[in-house]
Chain A
């Protein structure tokens, strides 16, 4: 018996294969095709608007529509590009802006630290909970998101106002009503309450991956539970701590709704300054400059942090 090798007849190309080959000729692979959608999305809804905002920040306020001067003007056949930097100069020279930035960062920082202190034990407990409980507890953490953020902040006023639930409860014991609304305290309560899930979830994901045998090994080598926590659990959950802190800190810096609804007139946060600049003073270029500067305030430390984190990982 002899075996004759046969050459299979050339198969017809499937239509998508043909498309793929056609695209490959122009240098577009399937991978690039998948990436095009998110890239386009970011371009249209993030990068271009950001560029527009940046452009506006270099104009000056004027009456009319739009309420800012055009950057490009044509006059007598010459094209002129006018960039006004005084919006940015004003950010540094006017103490209001500097104070607002510093105050925002301070409030966001304190809120982040408290959220971490409150969130860490919760995340730890969820990660160590028995299997059937874990999903229920996680669900409870996410549950507040089923209601609108704005509604939840309004609901908080119901707790904290002069004749709110807390003061009614205190009244039962004859305690004078506390002033909580329109204070920094209320702003912290709002920030911590709203951003706690953003702290718990990344912490949970790192803690749940933590190998239980590492904890046992540490105990086996003579570490008491608190020593194990300091030398094993905490350093190994550092990525979660960083991720959670950034997820809380970044939106908290620019937060507008919480200080507007819960804070008093002396609660100075950059989000409110921006709002006032935009809607009350109708100074779009100034507002745009405030926004761009805020972005820089938030982005620069994140980039530094990430660089440090990468360096740690590579070591």
Chain B
């Protein structure tokens, strides 16, 4: 087996302040008329990373990608790729290739001609092009489809042709705009792994735009969450999910229970928050940058909470609240409970179904206690 290239996913260069970024986006703003699609974005992406730009529609993620490809020129700011300023360079002079959301396969050319298109522009010899095309067809497992036209292929096959075509010129940087968006769920899951595998074998830097958080979580080395043209948070998938930096990020990724509270104790080792919304105190087992009497938010994921019929001990008289099961959603692997607290707030709690057909499981209209650990939630000030 070929030696695995030195990948960003293993070395994590972003944790090393001395590491040199491969793509350097500096204070980039793009305005369309009065609307700033992207405003003052700065972002470093390292070699052989698989970076995901995650955001809803209109968050500016696609515009940022198009500026990297050269289809849009930033209103202000600079884009550097591999140490060279690329801000004003035309798309056909960039060492960058893009895989389009619609795939943009040339309908009048067959699969081989599509893949060879960029190679011909580079003035490669006939034999070399043929060899490279064959190699790429093998990579995307379409060896027998070279002579087909795009309209004779299925959606998944077209997606792979588009990927092969974008990889053909061995770009330093590959941009992927919603690469799996047009595929059905099952195919998408399979293709996700294939995409990561291809990225890891080639060691090319990928920047993927997606609105699908699940896709971003499973693909990315790091995720950049975008909101209204700005970067809301940059981090590894676990950081983004477990340690969101704002209410927006916590709410955008996965589902979350969020409550408002007031700081009553602010010690270096712990914080106590009184939340009338939750109907109890929240004891946080680590220091938080806040002041007494400050109003802030506390967010917790549904799977970090536990349900019980008997009153649990709690922690220093906190982290226990009471309510009634209002609704249960059975998803097979787990069940989602909607608990109506005595305070009127609704909580979403998930429990893994570890026992098959458990007759003793908590059921509708049952009064229950909800509890959690002192490190399970995130305290958010913005």
Residues of B within 8 A of A218 (CB): 106, 117
Chain B residue with minimal CB distance to A227? B121
Chain B residue with minimal CB distance to A225? B92
Confirm or deny: B102 has a beta carbon within 8 angstroms of a beta carbon on chain A.
yes
Whether B106 contacts A232 by the Cβ 8 Å rule is yes
Chain A 16-46 near chain B by CB (<8 Å), digits 1 or 0 = 0000000000000000000000000000000
Which B residues between 69 and 119 are near A, CB-CB below 8 angstroms? Answer: 69-71, 90-92, 96-98, 100-102, 104, 106-108, 117-118
Q: Pick from B71, B102, B107, B165: contact of A221, CB below 8 A.
A: B165
Chain A residue with minimal CB distance to B91? A219
Whether A222 contacts B122 by the Cβ 8 Å rule is yes
**Residue from A214, A236, A315 whose CB has the most chain B CB atoms within 10 Å:** A214
Interface of A, secondary structure class, is: helix
**Residue from B70, B118, B168 whose CB has the most chain A CB atoms within 10 Å:** B118
Residues of B within 8 A of A211 (CB): 102, 104
Confirm or deny: A14 has a beta carbon within 8 angstroms of a beta carbon on chain B.
no
Whether A214 contacts B92 by the Cβ 8 Å rule is no
Residues of A within 8 A of B90 (CB): 219
Confirm or deny: B222 has a beta carbon within 8 angstroms of a beta carbon on chain A.
no
Q: Pick from B98, B108, B149: contact of A217, CB below 8 A.
A: B98
Whether B117 contacts A221 by the Cβ 8 Å rule is yes
Chain A 162-191 near chain B by CB (<8 Å), digits 1 or 0 = 000000000000000000000000000000
Interface size on A, residues (CB 8 A): 18
Chain B residue with minimal CB distance to A315? B149
Residues of A within 8 A of B70 (CB): 219-220
Chain A residue with minimal CB distance to B115? A221
Question: In the complex, what distance in Å separates the CA atom of A222 from the CA atom of B120?
Answer: 9
Question: In the complex, what distance in Å separates the CA atom of A216 from the CA atom of B177?
Answer: 13
Q: Pick from A213, A216, A222, A224: contact of B118, CB below 8 A.
A: A222
Confirm or deny: B274 has a beta carbon within 8 angstroms of a beta carbon on chain A.
no
Q: How far is the CB of B286 from chain A (nearest CB, A)?
A: 48
Residues of B within 8 A of A306 (CB): none
Residues of A within 8 A of B97 (CB): 220-221
Confirm or deny: A223 has a beta carbon within 8 angstroms of a beta carbon on chain B.
yes
Confirm or deny: B30 has a beta carbon within 8 angstroms of a beta carbon on chain A.
no
Question: In the complex, what distance in Å separates the CA atom of A236 from the CA atom of B169?
Answer: 24
Whether B108 contacts A236 by the Cβ 8 Å rule is yes
Question: In the complex, what distance in Å separates the CA atom of A315 from the CA atom of B97?
Answer: 29
Whether A213 contacts B121 by the Cβ 8 Å rule is no
Q: Pick from B96, B104, B122: contact of A213, CB below 8 A.
A: B104
Whether A223 contacts B104 by the Cβ 8 Å rule is no
Residues of A within 8 A of B104 (CB): 211, 213-214, 216-217
Question: In the complex, what distance in Å separates the CA atom of A115 from the CA atom of B118?
Answer: 33
* A222 with B69, Cβ < 8 A, contacts A213-B102, A217-B100 known: no
Confirm or deny: A49 has a beta carbon within 8 angstroms of a beta carbon on chain B.
no
Whether B71 contacts A222 by the Cβ 8 Å rule is no
Question: In the complex, what distance in Å separates the CA atom of A75 from the CA atom of B35?
Answer: 91
Residues of B within 8 A of A231 (CB): 117
Whether A213 contacts B100 by the Cβ 8 Å rule is yes
Which A residues between 205 and 262 are near B, CB-CB below 8 angstroms? Answer: 211, 213-214, 216-224, 227, 231-232, 235-236
Q: How far is the CB of B7 from chain A (nearest CB, A)?
A: 25
* A220 with B91, Cβ < 8 A, contacts A211-B102, A213-B102 known: yes
Which B residues between 38 and 82 are near A, CB-CB below 8 angstroms? Answer: 69-71
Question: In the complex, what distance in Å separates the CA atom of A222 from the CA atom of B91?
Answer: 7
Q: Pick from B71, B149, B169: contact of A216, CB below 8 A.
A: B71
Question: In the complex, what distance in Å separates the CA atom of A232 from the CA atom of B107?
Answer: 9
Q: How far is the CB of B95 from chain A (nearest CB, A)?
A: 10
Question: In the complex, what distance in Å separates the CA atom of A221 from the CA atom of B102?
Answer: 16
Which B residues between 145 and 181 are near A, CB-CB below 8 angstroms? Answer: 149, 165, 168-169
* A223 with B100, Cβ < 8 A, contacts A214-B106, A216-B71 known: no
Q: How far is the CB of B209 from chain A (nearest CB, A)?
A: 14
Question: In the complex, what distance in Å separates the CA atom of A216 from the CA atom of B96?
Answer: 13
Residues of A within 8 A of B91 (CB): 216, 219-220
Q: How far is the CB of B189 from chain A (nearest CB, A)?
A: 26
Question: In the complex, what distance in Å separates the CA atom of A254 from the CA atom of B211?
Answer: 59
* A223 with B108, Cβ < 8 A, contacts A213-B100, A216-B100 known: no
Residues of B within 8 A of A236 (CB): 107-108
Residues of B within 8 A of A217 (CB): 98, 100, 104, 106
Chain A residue with minimal CB distance to B66? A216
**Residue from A217, A218, A227, A231 whose CB has the most chain B CB atoms within 10 Å:** A217
Q: How far is the CB of A218 from chain B (nearest CB, A)?
A: 7
Question: In the complex, what distance in Å separates the CA atom of A232 from the CA atom of B122?
Answer: 17
Chain B residue with minimal CB distance to A312? B108
* A220 with B69, Cβ < 8 A, contacts A213-B104, A214-B104, A235-B108 known: yes
* A220 with B92, Cβ < 8 A, contacts A211-B102, A213-B100, A227-B121 known: yes
Q: How far is the CB of A66 from chain B (nearest CB, A)?
A: 54
Q: How far is the CB of A208 from chain B (nearest CB, A)?
A: 16
Residues of A within 8 A of B169 (CB): 221-222
Question: In the complex, what distance in Å separates the CA atom of A315 from the CA atom of B151?
Answer: 11
Q: How far is the CB of A104 from chain B (nearest CB, A)?
A: 34
Residues of A within 8 A of B106 (CB): 214, 217-218, 232
Which A residues between 287 and 315 are near B, CB-CB below 8 angstroms? Answer: 315
List the 5 shortest-distance A-B pairs measured between CB atoms, nearest first. A221-B118, A222-B121, A217-B104, A213-B104, A219-B91
Q: Could you give 16 example pairs across A and B, Cβ below 8 Å?
A: A214-B106, A216-B69, A216-B71, A216-B91, A216-B98, A216-B100, A219-B70, A219-B71, A220-B92, A220-B97, A221-B165, A221-B169, A222-B122, A223-B92, A232-B106, A236-B107
| Contact surface of B with A, Cβ cutoff 8 Å | 69-71, 90-92, 96-98, 100-102, 104, 106-108, 117-118, 121-122, 149, 165, 168-169
**New A-B contacts (20) at CB < 8 Å, excluding given A220-B70, A222-B92, A235-B108:** A211-B102, A213-B101, A216-B71, A216-B91, A216-B100, A217-B98, A217-B100, A217-B104, A217-B106, A219-B70, A219-B92, A220-B97, A221-B117, A222-B118, A222-B121, A222-B122, A223-B121, A224-B92, A231-B117, A236-B107
